[in-house]
Structure 1
Amino acid sequence: MTPKTVRRVNWIGGITTVLTVVIAVLWAFPLYWGIVSSLKPENEVVRPFIELWPDTLTFRHYWFALTETQIGAWYLNSIVTSLGVTVVTVTTSLFAGYALSQLRFPGRTILWWLILASFMVPTQVLIINHFVLMADMGLLNSWAGIILPQLIHPVIIIVYKQFFDQVPKDFREAAAMDNASEWNVLFRIYIPMNWGVTTALSIVTFIWAWNAFLWPFLAVTKTEMMTITVGITQVFDAFGVYYARQLSAAVLAGFPVALAYLLFQRKVTQAITLSAGIKG
């Protein structure tokens, strides 16, 4: 590589780095602004000019959110529903992916194409059907009513199927020679080989369920049954909207997800890569 080429590569690398930093700052600024504004008195938040740091630092808005709202119940509802969605979705998707990959049964091809075609149907299109079904079953304003319509994640089935397709057939043939049942093959061979994939998909599914807003917003009208993403819309005062209070509640709502991402960043990235590869 000639010196001229090296200089050109350095320029390209430098420009790319600068653009990356600029984009990162633009992306992170709303998050920074929300956190900083939640630490300001309300009169500073509504000022007509931008202040990057509060003149008076206060945590009273967080205290209000923690003591004057039902945020504890909202957290509990989000934890229960998110864990329920995660456990049921990942478990059923694992079984479905294994069946589609390793078993031969009537209608298998049609079922597989139906799962692939489900990508063409936006979840929002099914909202009315979900609402009518949950209302007819008497499950509105309940954990089950929040969980059941959120169990549709065909991408997880597809990820599992593709993973199981890549497992060497020798393992299955050896198990068959030992007269192992399908359950033994699944639990003793295939599942232990994909704990990493299962962990990654579980984390991402939990984050999806925690951040869900539209369906929990429609399915729940009782304040005590709201999830955290819906509950923070109830943080207001009889005298009007207090932006700092709502921002503090929003920060508290997003903190568990941000913490989970920081702790399991590699697994989350792995799951997103798998999902993106499937959709691409």
Structure 2
Amino acid sequence: MATTTEAPSAPNADAATRAPVRGRRRFPVGAAALYTVAVLAALAWLTPLLWAFATSVKPEGETTAMPPAWLTSNLTWEAYALVLGGGGIVRWTVNSLITTVIVTALTLVLCVLAAYGFSRFDFRGRPWLFALVIGGILIPPQVLIVPQFVLMTQMGLVDTYWGIALPQVVAPVFVFVLKRFFDAIPRDYEDAARLDGAGPVRILWNVVLPLSRPVLTAVGIFTFIGAWNNFLWPFIVVNDPQMMTLPVGLGTVTGGYGIQYARDMASAVLGAFPLLIVFLLFQRHVVTGVAGAGIKG
């Protein structure tokens, strides 16, 4: 009696046809559209900066040529030489750095203490006081210029670093942001530290601040950028050319030559260059601080 052995079944045809497809990654249409929009937005943001630099290296006679051209055959650094040689740009940069560091440090200290107090301590009138602080967001800074200048004059702080820095440390919006972040921190960490004998200051320093590093970094960088770019208040409170900040000093050099586009653009590029370096060095912290403004459990 003959016996027949059944041949092993062939692999599933459908699985064989699906195998190559499984190795390929399909790019979603929505993601492609999102990336396209992001690239177009980046180009729209970058175009004025590139145009400013291209204008700054042109001879002054070509800056108003029609039709306008991106490139020039007569590349020149004359505008930069004039701006750099027309004033104490090194002194102005040092002044900006000193005042910006003071503003950033004081803003972080005051906002952290205020936000932690509103978040963790229960005292009479806390909701009303917090509402009063947040109400400061609605006050335009221009309204406070005259009383601030009178106060700085009475305190003898005109033409000083403190006179430039102190009015800029009031930042109710950062108090609000930090309080919301502190509210999201579980109190279990603080209770455990309190059982070990830690007081409020030690809890803030050893527990809360390490957990708040992303948002503190973001607040610090935004404060630094805002203080560095501030033109109006330093322009009002400073009369001595040796105490001018970089935006004010470059503005005086530019204004002294009237409207000359190459020199104006060179001043703008020089004023933005330090901030560009800061952003390139800390861009990862900016993204982390903005995206990580919450605690993942």
TM-score of the superposition, structure 1-length normalised?
A: 0.86
Q: Aligned with 2:148: secondary structure?
A: helix
> Quick one: distance in 1 between partners of 2:144 and 2:239?
20
Residue 260 (1) aligns with residue 289 (2) = no
> Quick one: distance in 2 between partners of 1:131 and 1:122?
16
Q: Which letter does structure 2 place at the counterpart of 1:91?
A: V
Residue 124 (1) aligns with residue 142 (2) = yes
Residue 212 (1) aligns with residue 230 (2) = yes
Q: What is the CA distance between 1:272 and its match in structure 2?
A: 5.2
Indicate if the aligned counterparts of 2:134 and 2:172 stay in contact, CA closer than 8 A. yes
Residue 226 (1) aligns with residue 255 (2) = no
Residue 31 (1) aligns with residue 49 (2) = yes
> Quick one: distance in 2 between partners of 1:187 and 1:247?
45
Q: Aligned with 1:146: secondary structure?
A: helix
Q: What is the CA distance between 1:11 and its match in structure 2?
A: 7.3
Q: Which letter does structure 1 place at the counterpart of 2:164?
A: I
Partner residue in 1 for 2:90: 72
> Quick one: distance in 1 between partners of 2:230 and 2:250?
13
> Quick one: distance in 1 between partners of 2:136 and 2:290?
19
Larger Rg: 2
TM-score of the superposition, structure 2-length normalised?
A: 0.81
Q: 1:96 to 1:11 in 2, by over 3 A?
A: closer
> Quick one: distance in 1 between partners of 2:84 and 2:283?
28
Indicate if the aligned counterparts of 1:235 and 1:245 stay in contact, CA closer than 8 A. no
User: Once the two structures are superposed, what CA deviation does each residue of 1:37-60 show, in whole Å capped at 9, x if it has no partner?
Assistant: 111111212323301112211123
**Greater fraction of residues in helix:** 1
Q: What is the CA distance between 1:88 and its match in structure 2?
A: 0.3
> Quick one: distance in 2 between partners of 1:121 and 1:204?
20
The partner residue of 1:53 within 63, 71, 80 is 71
Residue 87 (1) aligns with residue 87 (2) = no
> Quick one: distance in 2 between partners of 1:271 and 1:155?
16
Indicate if the aligned counterparts of 2:214 and 2:290 stay in contact, CA closer than 8 A. no
> Quick one: distance in 2 between partners of 1:255 and 1:131?
30
5+ residue gaps, structure 2, are 1-26
Q: 1:156 to 1:240 in 2, by over 3 A?
A: closer
User: Once the two structures are superposed, what CA deviation does each residue of 1:177-203 show, in whole Å capped at 9, x if it has no partner?
Assistant: 222211111111111221222122111
- Percent identical among aligned pairs is 38
User: Once the two structures are superposed, what CA deviation does each residue of 1:149-195 show, in whole Å capped at 9, x if it has no partner?
Assistant: 11111121122212221121112222222222111111111112212
Q: What is the CA distance between 1:27 and its match in structure 2?
A: 3.0
Q: What is the CA distance between 1:238 and its match in structure 2?
A: 6.6
Paired residues in the alignment total: 268
Q: 1:128 to 1:165 in 2, by over 3 A?
A: same
Compute the RMSD of aligned alpha carbons. Answer: 2.4
Q: 1:78 to 1:170 in 2, by over 3 A?
A: same
